[in-house]
Structure 1
Amino acid sequence: MQPGAAHWVFLSGIVLIIGVMIARRNVVVPAIAATFCTALAYDGDPVRALQAVFNASLTAATELFNIFLIIALVTALLGALRGLGADRRMVEPFRHVMRGGHSAFWVVAGMTYLISLFFWPTPAVPLIGAVLLPAAISAGLPPAGAALAMAVAGQGMALSSDYVMQVAPGLSAKAAGVGTTEVADRAMVLSLITGGVALALGYLMTRREMREPDVRHLVRWEAGVTDPEVRGRRRFPSLRRLTAAAGADDAGRIDTAAIAPGTTTAVPGTDAAGGTDPAVEAAAPAAATAVIDQDPPDRGTPGTSADDAGSAPAPGDGNERRSKAFALIVPLALAGLVGYMMLGKFTGLVPEVVGGDAAALVGGVTVLLLITAALSLDGRGCLESCADHIVDGLVFSVKAMGVVIPIAGFFFIGNADFAGKIMALEEGRQAPGFLFDLVTRIESAIPDGGLVVGFGLLLVGLVTGLDGSGFAGLPLTGSLAGTLGPASGTDPALLAAIGQMGCVWSGGGVLIAWSSLLAVAGFARVPVLDLVRRSFLPVMAGLVVSTAVGIAIF
């Protein structure tokens, strides 16, 4: 379809949204306005244009609800584990590996990459978010740094190569007319270069935000208290009782023996005299304040260790045993889940579970663990408490991520698969593909020459990924690679892999807020647009380096 007025209105909307994001302003209103104007320019009916605004958000909510639901269920499970005191006990085994924020960054990145390489990031994110993320926060890794490591390693490195499942290389290779293995091998090299550069730059950006290991980081993170950047030697006395119950010493440190002599504990949000900053106290949720002000009935006698004091919310050996049991059961259940999926992948003993089915399996196991934990904690009252945990999880999920729905709706209207439904076109009427039509239009403007063609394919991939679907643009970039490769004297398989890098790193969930990056931001409890801004420069630098290196070596 030749671009018309609606195409240029849609393109103007993209430029406007990107500009507003760069200006660090909320893009909901521009996205809604751009959706209305695009539909109006295409159909000329203001009534249908108004309906399109609603339909776009409804379509986006339908497509993204699986992400919202998995966030809600894992949040509900963590709420039940918190009642048992098992959430902090789960941190214990990782203290020996995550001795500080620096090691935690690379452990989170490495584990996310390995799991995502085999099963895609969708099931990997909740597994990492439920087990490793709390340990990383306690070790001193800021939530934004943890989210960056998860996004780059999972949605970026693992998904852009898709070396094990080879869905993405298969799509690219088929459109380019080359072998899948050729594309997969080149994509693997490019993804490692891109991810290596992005992780290195992301680590350097996060280094200055690292803090000493302290269980109070986890307490503040769970309470939803934002840590302003404050320097100096400071303490947080109002959290002392809670951190002692959580298994820390009087200083709130995880492992005082592992801390080098002469270092200090930096806990932002307190005044210079060691008192609590009133602004931070006001920001904490009422529920968190209630927990902070509530002493466990039995705190132990002076001279006993913090671990002896226990981390359960109530006294008694039964509570402590349940707390320890669930601190072991949950990681083992999730590890067993990974093992089951590996059996399905590499053997015929069980059915293979991948993609959305794997995410559904993770969600089902999470619900089972939630019910079991609520039953153990509340007995007959678990019917009410379990429902409350689920509602709390849904509220958190929608409150944190709901703003993205109208933004995604605008980009969905640019996809022919959704445009007809959003604009309520008559049956049999061809739906426009605003985004793909615009990209096809510039195909002839790409000049010959390996380096220029390579970066042109990268740009095309980045643009086609703006709809939040990392794989939707692969047939287009693959066909362009097959056409432009012979004409420019460049390997078509390499060009297809470069286009694949652009599509997946953009739409797969690193550079676009209305994608599976929602799940990463939700589990890390950081604003998704802030995560996009933090990821942009490292990822773009990695893509530029990998494209240049790929053209040079292949």
Structure 2
Amino acid sequence: MVQITLLHFIYLIFILLVIVFMIFKKDTSLVCILGIFILGLVATGSVYQSMMGVFNGLAYAIKELLGTILIISIIVAMGNILEKTGVNKEMIRPFLKFIKTPDLAYWIVGLVMMVVSWFFWPSPAVALIGVILAPVAVKAGLPALAVAVSMNLFGHGIALSSDFVIQGAPKLTAGGAGIEVSEVIRASIPLTFVMGFVTTLVAFILIKRDMKKGLLEVYNLQEEEMDKEYWLSLSYRKLFAALIPIAFLLDIVIMKKYNLQGGDATALIGGTALFILMFMLLVSLKTKAIDEVVNYLIEGLQFGFKVFGPVIPIAAFFYLGDEGFLSILGEYLPKNSTGLVNDLGLALSQIVPINKVFGAAALTTVGAITGLDGSGFSGISLAGTVAKIFGTALGKGTATLTALGQQAAIWVGGGTLIPWAVIPVAAICKVSPFDLAKRNLIPVVIGLIVTTVVAMFLI
């Protein structure tokens, strides 16, 4: 029999408080820090130990997330040097000859955005794709708003919600659920395919319909000069444009051959990006590169901690639900406890008849709620924790439920439905962020419904 204590009730109350704060679009960092403190106070009976617990919780979360923060920082730093040298333009140039019709423009811009976002994350990819491909797509007859939709759905939707290469999102959700990152990735593959296919197809159909009705205006964006002054000559730009994709493709081959997953896969991608950054600086700046490497790394780290800064207190609280409790507060759980989240899941299964339909619908709802802050990442630890509760109650399906919550959270908050989250894409394409979010609404909602139904059969 599961022993439910005051610690379990407090943890559950703060989970509900986090959800309420997210519904009202309020930051949850303060709630999570207070949650850690009160759990520590009840567990230890000591104010100073509780305050130490808060600090230890933040340190534990940073330690768990440091690899993810670091690789994103390095990728962004590498993206900056690609832009300064003009190599990014040459990497995209081969695709320009294929964008001849509005239909091709929609799918090519989207697919290129997706692939680039998998390796460089959507934030750097927006500038790269938007500046070069958006004017070409508009010239081919695709309205600017439709270009923005394509970039959003394929980049901030498919690529960010799956995050197969950098693995920042599955790292967070897996941590909340207490399972391996590889389990979340495997479970997310069919959900990513269904969500991506349905959402992009529905959006394409609606765009075609409104173009025929004359509801979408086509106007030209200013096309950036492809051959302005860069740090590298054209021959060097072409050489690096060929070598960089080959380097990352070799990483994928190595991952497959040596079965590298999770942190090992992240380390390989990060190490490759770091050496590309250093080598390109050496070629372009010669001896000055010695002083510039650290500056680019600092810029990247500033970006990384800016993105993950709000996530750290939230992740710290949700790590308490599993093995993190011992590291953060100490041995204060009941002897037969398998973790706060596991205990709550088992207790729930004994009280309420949980089924696959209810579990899948609940995770999509929770994931969508966590995305309402416009981050997409701030609440996915919560989605993982709730998935573990329901998975434990069902006796199966934790990985699928975790992947489903991740999909819902990032599709809603990662840059497709929240107006202030779509601003970068909207600005590049010179459209209203509110019009873009409104245009994305029907495809994303239909996609979430279909994906939730599919998840019910996969649990």
Please indicate the TM-score interval, normalised by the length of the shorter structure: 0.5 to 0.7
- The Cα shift of 1:421 comes to 0.8
Q: Identify the match of residue 311 of structure 1 among 207, 228, 233.
A: 228
1:7 aligns with 2:1: no
Q: Which residue of 2 aligns with 1:468?
A: 381
Residue 51 of structure 1 is matched in structure 2 by 52
Q: TM-score when scaled to structure 2? A: 0.67
Q: Within 5 A, what are the aligned runs for 1:436-475?
A: 436-447=342-353, 453-456=356-359, 459=362, 468=381
**2:286 matches 1:383:** no
Deviation at 1:395, TM superposition (A): 1.6
Quick check: 352-361 or 147-156, which moved more?
147-156
Alignment of 1:312-327 (within 5 A): 312-313=229-230, 320-321=232-233, 323-327=234-238
Change in CA separation of 1:382 and 1:144 when aligned onto 2, cut-off 3 Å:
farther
- Residues 471-510 of structure 1: pairs in structure 2 closer than 5 A: 481=394, 496=396, 500-507=399-406, 510=409
CA spacing shift, 1:361–1:157, aligned 2, 3 Å: closer
Change (3 A) 1:102 1:10: farther
Q: Does 2:134 align with 1:134?
A: no
**Corresponding position: 1:433 with 2:438:** no
In the alignment, does 2:242 pair up with 1:337? no
Aligned counterparts, 1:199-278, within 5 A: 199=200, 263-265=218-220
CA distance in 2, matches of 1:189, 1:367: 32
Q: Measure how far apart 1:500 and its partner are.
A: 3.8
Give the structure 2 partner of residue 285 of structure 1. none
- Conserved? CA contact 2:404–2:452, under 8 Å: no
Note the C-alpha offset of 1:444: 3.0
Q: How far apart in 2 are the matches of 1:513 and 1:340?
A: 31
45-54 vs 89-98, which deviates more?
A: 89-98
Instruction: State the one-letter code of the partner of 1:367.
Output: L
- Select the residue among 269, 278, 283 that pairs with 1:371: 278
Contact 1:60–1:412 (CA<8 Å) still a contact in 2?
yes
Tell me the residue number matched to 1:224. none
User: How far is 1:370 from its partner?
Assistant: 1.0
1:153 corresponds to 2:161 = no
**Amino acid in the other structure paired with 1:264:** Y
Task: Report if the CA contact (8 A) 1:32-1:53 is conserved.
Answer: yes
Q: What is the CA–CA distance in structure 2 between the aligned matches of 1:203 and 1:266, rounded to whole Å?
A: 21
**Aligned residue in 1 for 2:35:** 34
Paired residue type of 1:468: S
What RMSD over aligned residues (CA atoms) do the two structures have, in Å? 5.1
Match of 2:264 in 1: 357
Deviation, structure 1 residue 333: 2.6
> Residues of 2 paired with 1:108 and 1:42: CA distance?
54
Identical aligned residues as a percent: 20
Aligned mates of 1:205, 1:41 — CA distance in 2: 55
1:60 to partner: Cα distance: 1.0
Say which structure is richer in helix.
2
Distance 1:71 1:108, change over 3 A: farther
In structure 2, the gaps of 5 or more residues are 135-143, 168-172, 178-182, 209-215, 371-378, 415-419, 426-432
**Structure 2 match to 1:421:** 327
**Residue from 371, 395, 405 that aligns with 2:312:** 405
Paired AA for residue 503 in structure 1:
T
Quote how far apart the aligned CAs of 1:440 are.
2.0
* Matched residues, number: 398
TM-score by length of 1: 0.57
Does the 8 A contact of 2:345 with 2:392 survive in 1?
no
Moved more, 147-156 or 69-78: 147-156
Does the C-alpha gap of structure 1 residues 24 and 154 become closer, same or farther in structure 2, counting only changes over 3 Å?
same
Cα distance, 1:338 vs structure 2: 1.6
CA distance in 1, matches of 2:458, 2:340: 36
- 8 A Cα contact 1:31 1:407, kept in partner: yes
In structure 1, C-alpha distance between the alignment counterparts of 2:441 and 2:6, rounded to whole Å:
31
Give the Å deviation of 1:443: 1.1
- Please show how residues 55-66 of structure 1 align to structure 2 within 5 Å: 55-66=56-67
Evaluate the alpha carbon distance shift between residue 135 and residue 551 of structure 1 in structure 2; reply closer, same or farther with a 3 A threshold: closer
Q: Provide the rounded CA distance (Å) in 1 between the counterparts of 2:207 and 2:57.
A: 36
Give a deviation string over 1:190-244, Cα, whole Å, max 9, x none.
654344344456779999xxxxxxxxxxxxxxxxxxxxxxxxxxxxxxxxxxxxx
Is 2:14–2:32's contact at 8 Å kept on the other side of the alignment? yes
What is the alpha-carbon distance in structure 2 between the residues aligned to residue 112 and residue 139 of structure 1? 10
| Distance in 1 of aligned mates of 2:386 and 2:393 | 11
Structure-2 residue corresponding to 1:242: none
- CA distance in 1: counterparts of 2:293 and 2:190, whole angstroms: 46
User: Could you list the per-position Cα deviations for residues 267-302 of structure 1 after superposition, in whole angstroms to 9, with x for gaps in the alignment?
Assistant: 8xxxxxxxxxxxxxxxxxxxxxxxxxxxxxxxxxxx
Change in Cα spacing, 1:438 to 1:472, as seen in structure 2 (3 Å) is closer
CA apart distance, 1:63: 1.0
Q: Report deviation, 1:107.
A: 4.6
Kindly provide the CA deviation profile for residues 19-63 of structure 1, in whole angstroms up to 9, marking residues without a partner as x: 222222222222212222232233332222211211111111111
Q: 1:41 and 1:101 mapped to 2: Cα distance?
A: 61
Aligned-residue offset at 1:552: 8.4
Equivalent pair of 2:109/2:133 in contact (CA under 8 Å): no
Aligned pair in 2 of structure 1 residues 91, 512: CA closer, same or farther (>3 Å)? Answer: closer
Measure the CA separation in 2 of the matches of 1:44 and 1:132.
50
Matched, 1:545 2:450: yes
Q: Identify the range of structure 1 (324-333 vs 29-38) with the bigger mean alpha-carbon deviation.
A: 324-333
Counterpart AA for 1:82: E
One-letter amino acid of the counterpart of residue 21, structure 1: M
Q: Kindly state the Cα deviation for residue 356 of structure 1 after the two structures are TM-superposed.
A: 2.3
Distance 2:108 2:229 in 1: 28
